[in-house]
Structure 1
Amino acid sequence: MITQTSTYARAIVLMVTVALSGLTYPAVSFAQDIGGGASVLIASADVEAKLGKGIFSTPQNRSHAPKHIEKKTIDRSTVRSAHTRQTADSGKQGTASDKQGSDSGKQGTDTGKQGTDTGKETGRTNDTGLGSKTLGDAAKRVLTAEEYNKRGDNYFDAGQYEKAVDEYKQALRQKTNYPDAQLNLGEAYFNLERYEEAIAAEKQALQLKPDWAEAYRDLGNAYLKTDRQADAFDALKRAVSLDSKDEEARNSLSIVYYDQGVAAYNAGKYDDAIASYKEAINLKPDYAEAYNNLGDAYRRLDKIADAAEAYKQAVRIKPDFVEAYCALSWMYDKLGRYPESVEAYRRVIQFRPDDAEANNNLGYALGKSKRWSEAILPLKRAIELKPNYAEAHNNLGWAYNNVGNFTSALEPLQRAIQLKPDMPEGHFNIGITYSHLMKKDEALTEFKQAVQLKPDWPAAHNNLGYAYGNLGRWKEAITEHKQAIQLKSDYAGAHYNLGFAYLMSGDKKAATEEYKILQAMNPHNAEVLYVQIYHKQPPKN
């Protein structure tokens, strides 16, 4: 029988963990075998706790907020071309008067009374149309409906909406079946925030001129302002169907779809939310907020790759969209795309250099990329910004462990479990540190605590088994290694350690069975275990 001694060589799967937002990602595993004075590193299966949740969990947990069209959705203070009128029969720009416009579509004025002024908007006589000469001349005779409409346009463009309303009403008194004036009246009411009157005017315009895309668009916008989403949806959808190139109508309809997505998301109907956000994006391809919310909905369904792509589009459109960068970083973490995660966290820190969580997560991503030395600086920065940040202290100890600086790892890990005694990863990591510092009893205590706090963690059971073996308590070691394997049947490091514990307890047959299991699972571990059992290399097949 082989002598059972606490100083005899044996194996451990030491798995170092990193904490994020109170939950953690175990990051690196390795087995250490010491036999006959020689040290051999044996790679073992990497074990993920799958409990990790990024610091930046806000997009996942928050409710989505609805959008509102801005007051100046209908705004012609810059004399936009949309305020020029279309004739009912030709669709060319002009006024309803057969005296205005020309077949060629050139901009003009009331024939014989106003200058052509070709470079300006249809029917404009000067910058505002409110000069004393123009008004004075008009006062000498009875104005036509078209002229009142024109005066209303000029007041509208000058931002004098009350006066514009008066002029449009005068035009309608002169000519009751004048759809252009009805439309303009509705738009003036809209900018006065008199939305019910705007709705009535736009409805009247549509009675006079059915299938008028512009009127449906303005009606939909007014409905949006009164939170009549269903009516707004119908009106705006009709507007887009009549004129698919009307950007204002498309943008407004995209808001309706966005709000439908918000309602579905907040009700937990994530598939419906995804469909609505996609419709919003189809109408408005540069809708960064819709892409961000689409990513949130995908996250809720655990469609991580789709979520990452949505967040990626959000930051492409809006490079300063910090929340989307935060979420994108975490998606890269979950996908194991750590180099991309590093770059995304760096972008977050560009905007938020004093964000402790961003610095912590950058350190985590660097560690997952095996860039241990680089990880230390942002983790220290996180602690500097937030001294009581238990997870950052734990992560700093994790990084120090992985660069082999176990003495430096001890202080931050002690601080981590002082701040958060119920953090299993902190106890696990400091157990690793104590093991390397040959503080065997302390290591046993910490691994016990890790198992107590997180009983379904295979690596914690395996390392507790190692700690028992280090003290020559092989029976207890076997129990813990078996428990690790029960939780994770393909855990090569635990199979190796179990085989070694069997060997140390005198059960060579059981050790050989573990060797056979390891042959298919991890040939290198199997070979090392064979040498431990038989003191020679295994036969070549």
Structure 2
Amino acid sequence: MSQTEQKLPILGLTTLMFTILSIVHTQLPAMAEEVAPEPNEEVAPEPNQEQEQLSAVDLYNRGVDKLEAGDYGGAVADFSDSLKLDPNDADSHYNRGYAYQNLGNQRAAVYDYTEAIKIKPDYQQAYINRGAAYLAWSKYKEAIADFDEVIKLSPKNEAALLSRGNAHHQLEDYEAALGDYEEVISHNAKNVMAYYQRGLTYNQLQQNEEALADYSEALQIQPTFAEAFHNRGITRFKLENIEEAITDLEKAAELYQQEGKTESYQSAMDAIKQIKEFSGS
């Protein structure tokens, strides 16, 4: 929630702090290569499927299938069973962490990403996802430490830079946040979230002209970005551009409605009502 000047109604900016990081599970592992029997070697008959005990790889692959189907609880069970058979498999820990993260269990996700990193110390995606879990858990300093590790390994990693900027923003270290967003933009001038997040940071610094420019740039890249319309509308209101503020908020409300975001739609409509009451229009 961000407060405007004292004489104006209090209108909230909308944020997407924790929805920018795509969590990607690993691919299926290679299956063990079949070995042909030696001559004269008796080949045992294949067991019935019901009697066959699943291997760690079988359980892992079934867990991946459940991840792809959105069955995160079932995936946790399969990866847990796979880890009983092969406790040192980094990918099983990583994917179980991914499943826990989707279930909202950040503590369990952090545990599994940590185990994956112990086994595979250069596991960049595990660092990124553990950092994302720390962000959602409001452990911002720990998140920054993880993103620092990724950036050491991959200095141009946009996800790590952007997420570290978000953590700095949450700690109200706005100059550090701006530095991270600007680094992202220097590598990729079309990164829509870098402009959006930098706009939020400029709002916090009361640099509303700069915020307006960033939201406008984000909308040039992604014309259906409802949250950017919403925040540009609030920013225009702060700059006393009443008609343009209402137009942006109406567009945000329209897009929210199309996306089925009921609470966001109501927030935009409430802002429009407050602005109209304030301006007498």
Using structure 1 for the length normalisation, give the TM-score. 0.46
**Rounded Cα–Cα distance in structure 2 between residues aligned with 1:493 and 1:317:** 50
Q: Hey, what does 1:432 align to over in structure 2?
A: 200
1:421 and 1:353, CA in 2 relative to 1: closer, same or farther beyond 3 A?
Answer: same
Q: Hey, what does 1:364 align to over in structure 2?
A: 132
Paired positions, count: 271
Q: Which residue among 160, 180, 186 is the counterpart of 1:412?
A: 180
Q: CA deviation at 1:322?
A: 0.7
Query: What percent identity do the matched residue pairs reach?
Result: 21
**Rounded Cα–Cα distance in structure 1 between residues aligned with 2:206 and 2:64:** 47
Tell me whether 1:58 sits opposite 2:23 in the alignment.
no
Q: Deviations over 1:421-464 (max 9, x none)?
A: 22222111111111111221211121122233334443222112
Q: Hey, what does 1:400 align to over in structure 2?
A: 168
Q: CA deviation at 1:482?
A: 2.3
- Secondary structure at the residue paired with 2:15? strand
Q: Hey, what does 1:349 align to over in structure 2?
A: 117
Tell me whether 1:504 sits opposite 2:278 in the alignment.
yes
**Rounded Cα–Cα distance in structure 2 between residues aligned with 1:342 and 1:401:** 22
| Larger gyration radius, structure 1 or structure 2 | 1
- Secondary structure at the residue paired with 1:219? coil
**Rounded Cα–Cα distance in structure 1 between residues aligned with 2:236 and 2:192:** 18
Q: Which residue among 260, 263, 267 is the counterpart of 1:490?
A: 263
Contact kept in structure 2, 1:13 and 1:494, CA below 8 Å: no
Q: Hey, what does 1:11 align to over in structure 2?
A: 11
1:57 and 1:440, CA in 2 relative to 1: closer, same or farther beyond 3 A?
Answer: same
> Which structure 2 residue ranges, 5 or more long, are not aligned?
none
Q: Hey, what does 1:38 align to over in structure 2?
A: none
1:405 and 1:16, CA in 2 relative to 1: closer, same or farther beyond 3 A?
Answer: farther
Q: Deviations over 1:75-99 (max 9, x none)?
A: xxxxxxxxxxxxxxxxxxxxxxxxx
Q: CA deviation at 1:289?
A: 1.0
Q: Hey, what does 1:236 align to over in structure 2?
A: 46
Tell me whether 1:479 sits opposite 2:253 in the alignment.
no
> Which structure 1 residue ranges, 5 or more long, are not aligned?
19-24, 27-51, 72-189, 199-217, 221-234, 241-256, 258-278, 508-541
1:504 and 1:417, CA in 2 relative to 1: closer, same or farther beyond 3 A?
Answer: farther
1:502 and 1:316, CA in 2 relative to 1: closer, same or farther beyond 3 A?
Answer: farther
Contact kept in structure 2, 1:355 and 1:385, CA below 8 Å: no
Mapping 1:132-531, distance limit 5 Å: 190=37, 193-194=38-39, 198=41, 218-220=42-44, 235-237=45-47, 283-285=52-54, 287-486=55-254, 487=256, 488-491=261-264, 492-507=266-281
User: Residue type matched to 1:494 in 2?
Assistant: A
**Rounded Cα–Cα distance in structure 2 between residues aligned with 1:455 and 1:410:** 23
Contact kept in structure 2, 1:356 and 1:383, CA below 8 Å: no
User: Higher relative CO (CA 8 A, sep ≥ 6), structure 1 or 2?
Assistant: 1
User: Residue type matched to 1:497 in 2?
Assistant: A
**Rounded Cα–Cα distance in structure 2 between residues aligned with 1:300 and 1:369:** 24
**Rounded Cα–Cα distance in structure 1 between residues aligned with 2:160 and 2:129:** 9
**Rounded Cα–Cα distance in structure 1 between residues aligned with 2:7 and 2:197:** 22
Contact kept in structure 1, 2:94 and 2:112, CA below 8 Å: yes
Q: CA deviation at 1:6?
A: 11
**Rounded Cα–Cα distance in structure 1 between residues aligned with 2:222 and 2:246:** 19
1:311 and 1:451, CA in 2 relative to 1: closer, same or farther beyond 3 A?
Answer: farther
- Secondary structure at the residue paired with 1:490? helix
**Rounded Cα–Cα distance in structure 2 between residues aligned with 1:429 and 1:14:** 11
**Rounded Cα–Cα distance in structure 2 between residues aligned with 1:316 and 1:460:** 46
Higher share of residues assigned strand: 1
